[in-house]
Amino acid sequence: MYISTFHLMPHRELPGDFEKRYPSVWVTPPFHELADARRIGQFYNWTLDELTAAARAGSDGICTNEHHQNAYGFMPSPNLMGAALARETNGLDCAIVQIGASLPGTQPPIRIAEEYAMLDSISGGRLVAGMPLGTPMDINISYGITPLEQRERYREAHDLIVKAWTAKEVFPWNGKYFQLPMVNIWPRPVQQPHPPVWIPGSGSASTFYYAAEHNYCYCFLSYFGYKSVSRPVRDKYWEVCAEKGRDENPHRMGFLQLVGVSETDEQAEKDYARHVEYFYHKCLHIPPNWLGIPGHNDYNATVNALTKSAVGRNFAALKEKKYKDFLEDRYVVCGSPATVRGQLKDLCQTLRVGNLMVLLHIGSMPHELTLKNIRLFFEEVAPALRPMWADYENLWWPAGLRRKVAQEAMA
Amino acid sequence: MSAAAVMDRQVNVWQNKLKSNIKVAGSGSPVVFLHGAGGLVWDQFLDTLARRHTVYAPEFPGTTPGDPDAIAQIDNLWDLVLYYDELLGSLVSGPVPVIGHSFGAMLAAELAAHHYDRVSKLVLMCPIGLWREDVPIPNWMIAPPEDLPNLLLSDAKGPLAQQMFGGEPQPEMQIKMIWSMACTGKFIWPIPDKGLKKRIHRIHAPTLVLWGRQDRLVPVAYAQEFAGRIAGAKVELIDRAGHLLTAEHPARVAETIENFLSAG
């Protein structure tokens, strides 16, 4: 089991009635009413400090991602954060997991090939290259990319990035969305032929196929836990892997989980309840129709979303849930070290997940509490999870940071 | 008067990569109807037109049931205009009146500006395609669903609003509408201003600009924007009508169009 610490860099101090006063956390919240630029600077620095603390505490990787025009998580350039983190963690066996820069919104996409190669160089070959599609709010609304073209544009950008990393000769790129006369990027990645690629997604089958066809790691970014919603996703994903002739190496799948560890279950409630509710009530305060802007999903996913998917219903129900409900439904895993160990083992077994990502800073959590969560998680929980799946090599991890595969599997 | 029998006709165009579906009804001189972003609905308005005309109503690429990926064959507005030019040429010989609604009216205007001899008369019902900073057009693809009755209809609470928006959502209808918006949205996202203002002066066909006075999606201020750029264009405003004027007043709108088409 490889465990990475994820951070969203949310606004930590939204007003208590935020979700009643404002229509959305994304696109429309007025910065000048809700934030102070110097205070936000403090949040960025805390974010960097918290991820660095996780790396020092033994996190296998640290993750940043890209979102725009929102208070939910605002690292418009995850690679700026990644650069600071790569530098700060030199000498540690910690991967820089950029989960990451959005392909359809970056023009030209060789910018991502270049920046990821820089990060791989600065970190000495510790980069995991995430290739996200981007949310509709980020890519369609904030960056103006045509919804129906987002996936095709993504696929072309991916092909161009991989070729830019690996080509030995200068080449012209004559694509539908991008045309470049002479491509020959500097630098190139330390990891050859290129860093491991992770594809984050929210359960769309077309992304399963894409990850399986390319032999990449699929990372399911769900906030709805592993009990109900995630099981159909797991079933479909592993079915697609089998269909595409891929093995059952659990490291093909990543999963993001909100986690809070305290001395006891009761203390965990005191520590985390209001931050969990802040996250689900305020940070996910998104108009449901924006998650399905016409064309963002392909036709099959559109049909699926309107006939089968529970995501819309789950979003609509969030406001009525309290900490105890989020705990009960396993949207969050919070409690004593023993509780958290038990539930995370169950999660990783149930979903067959080898790349676990944990969100240890949740919503409005202050810096000190976040550091406590990080410390307890890596001292009391992570050691119990690490031996899981030890007989499989994590082929989606920087080669220089992989642990030895357990002997019984080698025999 | 009984409703017209509506037939589906398929035509292979665009290097045979597209099998276009056209709904055809009625008899008499031909007219072409280009539907809006929500997709083609054969309604009382088209039935009324079909009493005196053969109405050809092509389904926008990608919106024909069973063929959602057809839209991948048309990359941009330039492709789209040439595709429609080709399609109309395969349906009728010689110039033909073209009636467009909303997105379809923008398309009709582009077609008339591109190919003078294809369009004999032009009817633009609340077209998109121009942009005024002081009168921005709400983006219906991201508007809250609860705003739609008010954006689309003159009376957001009347019987038609109840009929269209009142009941339980029907997934099949929702999918049809969402995918139609996805396909048409490919050519207008994120702002429906793709350069028509530079080409609109090329329209030579006699033009009628029709607008609902209570249109809150594409406000009536745009009527003069269009008419002022097209030589000789006439404007007619329909009272108590919103953006979906043909649904609200099928007979009156059809009659207004008929008068325009039959006048010398």
Output the six-digit token pair for B95.
């110039």
pLDDT at A216 over 60: yes
Q: How many CB pairs under 8 A join A and B?
A: 61
Q: Which of B141, B174, B179 sits opposite A299 (nearest CB)?
A: B179
A355's CB contacts (< 8 A; 6+ apart) are: A2, A4, A198, A217, A219, A251, A253, A254, A255, A394, A396, A397
Q: What are the residues of chain B with a beta carbon less than 8 Å away from any beta carbon of chain A?
A: 68-69, 71-72, 75, 141-142, 144-145, 171, 174-175, 178-183, 185-186, 189-190
Report how far Cα B176 is from the mean position of its chain's Cα atoms. Answer: 16
Nearest Cα neighbor of B104 from B156, B44, B60, B64 is B60
Give contacts of A301 with chain B, Cβ < 8 Å.
none
Average confidence score pLDDT of chain B: 96
Q: What is the pLDDT of residues A125-177, one digit of tens each?
A: 999 999 999 999 999 999 999 999 999 999 999 999 999 999 999 999 999 99
Confidence band, pLDDT 50/70/90 cuts, at residue A204: confident
Contacts of B145 in chain A (CB under 8 A): 289
* pLDDT value at residue A411: 41
CA distance B143 to B147: 7
- Helix (H), strand (E) at residue B127: none
> Which residues of chain B make contact with A146, given a CB cutoff of 8 A?
185-186, 189-190
CA distance B240 to chain A (A): 29
Please write the tens of the pLDDT for every residue from A14-40. 999 999 999 999 999 999 999 999 999
Residue B75: which of A145, A176, A307 has the nearest Cβ? A176
Q: Which residues of A touch B189 (CB under 8 A)?
A: 140, 144-148, 295
* pTM for the full predicted model: 0.96
CATH number 3.40.50.1370 given to B7-262: no
Whether the per-residue pLDDT at A313 is higher than 90: the answer is: no
Which residues lie closer than 8 Å to A406 by C-beta, 6 or more apart? A390, A391
Segment A56-111, tens digit of pLDDT: 999 999 999 999 999 999 999 999 999 999 999 999 999 999 999 999 999 999 99
Other beta carbons within 10 angstroms of residue A28's beta carbon come to 13
Structure tokens belonging to residue A258: 């909100």
Q: Do B175 and A302 touch (CB under 8 A)?
A: yes
Distance between alpha carbon A86 and the CA centroid of its chain, in Å?
17
Higher pLDDT, A60 or A223: A60
